[in-house]
Every structure is written in C-alpha cells, then in structure tokens.
C-alpha cells in the first residue's frame, strides 16, 4: 500500500490566476481523505495535479514516498474515477472493466481472474455480460470503479463520482464506495462539493476555499471545532447560526441585539481567548440542535426570544426558521479575492436563524418562541481575522 504527500503544492496559471496555494495534505496508507469546498475552490485542480493531469507550479508531491512531480500519469500508478462514467456502450460490463488491462497486453487468464474478483467486490458478477445501457446509474458507477480496481493501483483518485446520481441512489452509493475502499485498503483522495457527502465518507476532511486549505480534520472535529468562520458556515446542515454580538466589560454576558445572554465563568475557562474581547464585538455561533424550545420554567439570561418565520416538519424533527433583531453573519459566502487575502464574510442586517427541535415542540408560525441557550456549546470568532477564539 502507498501514501500520498502533498507538500506546499501550488498551481498558478500563465494568466496569473492562483488556483491552489501551498496545499499541505498527507493521505496515509488506506486512508479515505475528502477534499471539499464550493465550486472554484481548487479541489479538482489539486486532484488533477496528483493524477498528473495538471503540472505542479511549486511544491512537492510524493506517492509511496517517491517524488512524483515529473512522473507521467502512468508512472504514478494512480487510478482515477470521474463523475462521467465514460463506459463503452458496445462493450459488456466485463469488457469495460478489463479494457485497461487489455491495452497493457495482460494475459487473458489473468484478466479474467482480476475481473471476477473486482465484480465480486462490487456486486456485479451477475451483470458481467450486460451492456452499460441496461444498467442503473449506480451499477454504471460501480463498473467505472471496477475498471480502476482491476489495475491494482497504488492510490485512488475520485472526482465527484456520485454527482450524476439521484439523491436516494447517491446516499446508497456513499456507503457502497466507502465499503469498497475499506475492503481494498488503498489510500484514496476524493473530491466533492457536497459537505454532507464529505462528512459521512471521509476518515478526514480537508476544507478548501479560494485555493487555500482552511482546515483538515476528522469530520466530527470540523463540526465541533471549526477553525474559522468559513468552516463554521460551510460544514453542517443546516448551517451554523452566526450573529454579531458584544461581550460585556466584565465578560459575563453577550449583547445579542436587544437581548442579554449570560455566558458564565466556565465558558471563559474553556476559551481563555475571550478575555481579549471584553467590551468588544465578536461573532457568536450556535448550532441548530443547541437551541431547544424552552420547556416549562426558564432561567433569565439563558433564553433567546425569536419570532417564528417558517417551520419545516421532517418527521423526526422540526426545523424552525426564526428571526431576531441581531445582525446575521454568513449569508452567501463571498467568492472573490482582494489581493492575496481572502475576502470578508458577508454581513446581513436581518437576524435569521434555524433551530432543530423535537417534533412535538410547541411552536407556531407567526408567533414568538423561547429557545434555551447553552453557553458552553457556543462558538466564538474574531470578526477581523475570522478565526475561532482560542480554546
């Protein structure tokens, strides 16, 4: 088995456009690493540099501890699966899977054995004589994966392979792709713009924005401890609620619009960096599930009052869309560069948010609701640097 090491790798095009800037990622043997970010963030360019389809401007790429910058795609021994299956319609499933091996003049008996093994892994054994036109989208995707598997590559590269599938099949195939990768045990670099896909599939997830790596962590760490405002707003569905607030001079409360919320000493002990924001503005983040509707008596200062704008009933839960008189941060994340610096997060004057509550919660559209806040679960960000306040 092999690993992938991307060390300070950059891609600058002849017109000066900087697609990837000093990307640092290491994919261990057998690890499933996901690159995620909005369109144009550089994730596919990074993948193509690993594949040898794009030239590396600067930095070092190692595959199996061997510098690969100048190696051809063939010499790198990588297998790539694209969102376009690129199957030959006149060939059977078996012939499509075996096509690359046939070009390399591999003996027929070896090809037959490799195809049988790959088909068994992928659940395609009964379909080997079918033509692609008779297969479902998920089956065609598995054939494309089979073509990669039979090559016994050092690493797998996958560029949004599930994006052409319908929503239900995409969920099913997430599990299938992960199961197959674990069974084969090959280092895999997987690109997607879908943060839910990234969170459910990756051993680790690397979040990119405007060609710059923002954070690379285990999915739960990204969710629980986002490094900056962009990661906080991008990871999670629904997105984290982000509002401008002012920390009191004594640090005991937050002024959120017209409401004063108590935060307590325990929060300061966990996040000593908050001391620098006493009497100053900061950005507070609250996950939707951390705003349950008040049940019974409530503690003053530990409740946020909001106006219910809309309710989505999802069976096991309700998504309550609300508004408050505080400034909302986030909105549509801007995607432009000012010089060499990342742009600022958009700020809206309408304080909209979402709470995820249990289905029997007593909330009604057009009325006010009270949500309990848990200060220890809040996230805090510096409005200037956009970085998380140190914990």
Whether the per-residue pLDDT at 136 is higher than 70: the answer is yes
The answer to whether residues 76 and 52 touch, using CB atoms and an 8 Å cutoff, is: yes
**CATH match for 234-381 among 4.10.1240.10, 3.40.50.300, 2.40.160.10, 2.40.50.140:** 2.40.50.140
What confidence tens digit (pLDDT) does each residue in 292-336 have? 999 877 778 899 999 999 999 999 999 999 999 888 886 544 433
For residue 137, give both structure tokens.
Answer: 């989208």
DSSP reduced 3-state for 151: coil
The CA–CA distances, whole Å, from 327 to 244, 281, 385 equal 5, 11, 18
Whether the per-residue pLDDT at 143 is higher than 70: the answer is yes
What confidence tens digit (pLDDT) does each residue in 337-382 have? 333 334 445 555 457 899 999 999 999 999 999 999 999 999 999 9
Domain boundaries, the chain: 4-229, 234-381
What pLDDT sits at residue 168? 83
The answer to whether residues 143 and 93 touch, using CB atoms and an 8 Å cutoff, is: yes
Mean pLDDT of the chain: 90
The residue assigned the tokens 């991008």 is 234
What confidence tens digit (pLDDT) does each residue in 321-332 have? 999 988 888 654
Whether the per-residue pLDDT at 173 is higher than 70: the answer is yes
Domains 4-229 and 234-381 share a fold: no
Full-model pTM: 0.88
DSSP letters for 239-278: PPEEEEEEE-TTSSEEEETTEEEE-HHHHHHH-GGGGGGT
**Domain 4-229 has what CATH class?**
alpha beta
Cross-strand partners of 303: 372
The answer to whether residues 158 and 191 touch, using CB atoms and an 8 Å cutoff, is: yes
For residue 73, give both structure tokens.
Answer: 């795609």
């Amino acid at each position: 088995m092999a690993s992938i090491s991307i060390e300070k790798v950059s891609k600058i095009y002849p017109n000066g456009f900087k697609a990837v800037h000093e990307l640092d990622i290491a994919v261990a043997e057998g690890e499933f690493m996901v690159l995620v970010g909005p369109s144009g963030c550089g994730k596919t360019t990074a993948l193509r540099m690993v594949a040898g389809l794009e030239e590396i401007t600067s930095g070092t790429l190692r595959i199996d501890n061997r510098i690969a910058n100048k190696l051809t795609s063939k010499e790198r021994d990588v297998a790539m699966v694209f969102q376009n299956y690129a199957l030959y319609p006149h060939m059977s499933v078996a012939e499509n899977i075996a096509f690359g091996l046939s070009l390399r003049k591999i003996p027929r008996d070896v090809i037959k054995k490799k195809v049988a093994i790959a088909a068994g892994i992928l659940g395609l054994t009964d379909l080997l004589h079918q033509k692609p036109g008779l297969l479902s989208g998920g089956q065609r995707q598995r054939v494309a994966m089979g073509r990669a598997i039979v090559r016994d590559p050092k690493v797998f590269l996958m560029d949004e392979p599930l994006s052409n599938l319908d929503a239900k099949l995409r969920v099913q195939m997430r599990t299938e792709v992960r199961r197959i990768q674990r069974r084969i045990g090959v280092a895999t670099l997987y690109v997607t713009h879908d943060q839910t896909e990234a969170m459910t599939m990756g051993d680790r997830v690397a979040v990119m924005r405007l060609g710059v790596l923002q954070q690379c962590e285990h999915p739960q760490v990204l969710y629980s401890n986002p490094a900056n405002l962009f990661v906080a707003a991008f990871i999670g569905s629904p997105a984290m609620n982000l509002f401008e607030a002012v920390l009191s001079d004594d640090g005991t409360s937050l002024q959120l619009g017209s409401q004063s919320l108590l935060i307590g000493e325990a929060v300061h002990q966990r996040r000593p960096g908050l001391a620098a924001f006493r009497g100053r503005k900061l950005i507070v983040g609250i996950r939707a599930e951390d705003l349950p509707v008040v049940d019974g008596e409530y503690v003053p200062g530990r409740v946020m009052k909001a106006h219910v704008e809309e309710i989505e009933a999802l069976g096991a839960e309700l998504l309550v869309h609300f508004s408050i008189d505080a400034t909302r941060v986030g909105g549509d994340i801007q995607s432009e560069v000012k010089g060499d610096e990342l742009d600022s997060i958009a700020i809206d004057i309408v304080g909209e948010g979402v709470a995820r509550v249990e289905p029997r919660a007593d909330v009604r559209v057009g009325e006010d609701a009270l949500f309990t806040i848990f200060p220890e679960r809040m996230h805090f960000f510096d409005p200037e640097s956009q970085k998380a306040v140190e914990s």
